[in-house]
Structure 1
């Protein structure tokens, strides 16, 4: 990432869907969600059609170990392609890396490339299996979070108005009273980017669990699209 996140959360948090499941004319349903584990924040997106997985994506940032984002593609019920790019810690410095894997219908990796800086390295069976498991877990998690009626909301708060990343403004904002007092103090006095688990009802934004708190020049996170 361009900058390190300012995190005020000391325990793992689960963040729900950034949009409720919706079905369009093609009968696709879209989900999003995520979680925070230690110092790492995960944003997830998932799409299915008539209960069949179609695609997924993630955007993962760590305060100490870099970042990555991934696109996953299914075909006939199986994960068939994974593309990832990011930066990882190597010898105390962040270096770029990419991963591209294609699987056949039997789950065998028929194409794989793992590139760190300018070197191409092999992927072992455990790594290949992990990519498939990560893809499947995104679908399960985002759908479970959607059932709770929660969303992953992103935007900017100046103490009086919350502006969603889509540009819509809300002046009625209710904070969960379990948020630490020092977090509440910052939210009431500074311009901030915030990502949180919550919902919007009757023109009121309800903030249940704060996930990310950063300066207001932090960019909104969009769903990665790395597969043509």
Structure 2
């Protein structure tokens, strides 16, 4: 009888040991497979503004609080349009590409700008194509491109600090649906709009892009940027720089 009890006790003890070892192995195994913490923290900003005939949409990204990338989409009515892609490295603008159309004579022609900068800010590679021809880039134009990149960053961050973001979507007079599929019942404006804009928004489905905020069941428009027909597609962040071209 004692031998039977002793044998049962040994079996129970062995089971406890095996179970304890299994739990320890699982814990150590999970710990060894868990990914290391991501040391690179990204922050994303969006915004936009209207100035004169030009309307701009902005996207900006920081990595560990330093400039990483930016993009813009700018339209100027009959004068043309463009979109750009910018990349920074170690706090310095290192590369940009811009593509679009600009007015020439009686119509619009294609153009493309591609510039690479060294860490001192010198343009070590420049290419400007206009209507199929390669032309030089003037020094003041180089400065303007750098200023454009900085403007995207500064405006987007300043608007984000106020709680504003770039919002795009479609309004049918009763409901607003963002380009990401989120629906809201109310569209409010914090600016005075021309009567023809108010009339158009009241009963026709439209694409709208604006700087504003999203609340529980409504969106508030701080500045209306674009208003177009429902056939207008949502404008995605430009991506013109290929991975292999980035510095």
Q: State the TM-score, normalized to the length of structure 2.
A: 0.79
164 and 119 in structure 1: CA distance in 2 versus 1, 3 angstrom threshold = same
Determine the structure 2 residue equivalent to 1:139: 153
208 and 129 in structure 1: CA distance in 2 versus 1, 3 angstrom threshold = closer
For structure 1, the residue ranges without an aligned partner over 5 or more in a row are: 1-23
**Residues 1-228 of structure 1 correspond to what in structure 2 (within 5 A)?**
26-176=40-190, 178-228=192-242
Determine the structure 2 residue equivalent to 1:9: none
Structure with the bigger percentage of helix: 2
User: 1:64 aligns to what SS in structure 2?
Assistant: helix
Structure with the bigger percentage of strand: 1
Name which one, 1 or 2, has greater alpha-carbon Rg.
2
State whether residues 191 and 223 of structure 2, in contact with CA within 8 Å, keep that contact through their aligned partners in structure 1. Answer: no
Deviation, structure 1 residue 181: 3.4
Deviation, structure 1 residue 209: 2.4
For structure 2, the residue ranges without an aligned partner over 5 or more in a row are: 1-37, 243-247
Deviation, structure 1 residue 30: 0.7
Q: Give the distance between the partners of 1:108 and 1:114, measured in 2 at CA.
A: 16
User: 1:159 aligns to what SS in structure 2?
Assistant: coil
Q: Give the distance between the partners of 2:223 and 2:70, measured in 1 at CA.
A: 24
User: 2:78 aligns to what SS in structure 1?
Assistant: coil
Q: Give the distance between the partners of 2:60 and 2:211, measured in 1 at CA.
A: 17
- The structure whose RCO (Cα within 8 Å, separation 6+) is larger is 1
Q: State the TM-score, normalized to the length of structure 1.
A: 0.85
Q: Give the distance between the partners of 1:74 and 1:175, measured in 2 at CA.
A: 36
53 and 177 in structure 1: CA distance in 2 versus 1, 3 angstrom threshold = closer
Q: Give the distance between the partners of 1:177 and 1:125, measured in 2 at CA.
A: 39
Deviation, structure 1 residue 205: 1.4
Q: Give the distance between the partners of 1:143 and 1:52, measured in 2 at CA.
A: 12
Q: Tell me whether 64-73 or 166-175 shows the greater mean CA deviation.
A: 166-175
